[in-house]
Amino acid sequence: MNKKLLPGKALLWFIVAYHVAVGVLLITAGELLGCCLIAFACMLFVIVLDSLKYQALLNIAIVLIVLRVIQRIYFADKVMEVFKVPELRYWTSCAFAARLGIGVFLFHRRLTRRAPSHV
87-116 pLDDT, tens per residue? 999 999 999 999 999 999 999 999 988 656
What pLDDT was estimated at residue 115? Answer: 59
**Cα separations in angstroms, 5 against 41, 79, 85, 107, 109:** 19, 36, 36, 7, 11
12-68 pLDDT, tens per residue? 999 999 999 999 999 999 889 999 999 999 999 999 999 999 999 999 999 999 999
Task: Quote the pTM value.
Answer: 0.87
**Cα separations in angstroms, 71 against 8, 15, 20, 21, 100:** 25, 19, 21, 22, 16
Report the candidate in 25, 53, 40, 42 with the shortest Cα–Cα distance to residue 101. 40
For residue 119, pLDDT beyond 90 = no
Taking residues 82-87, what's their average pLDDT? 94
Contact 47, 60 (CB under 8 A): no
For residue 118, pLDDT beyond 70 = no
Dist CA 114 CA 52 (whole Å): 9
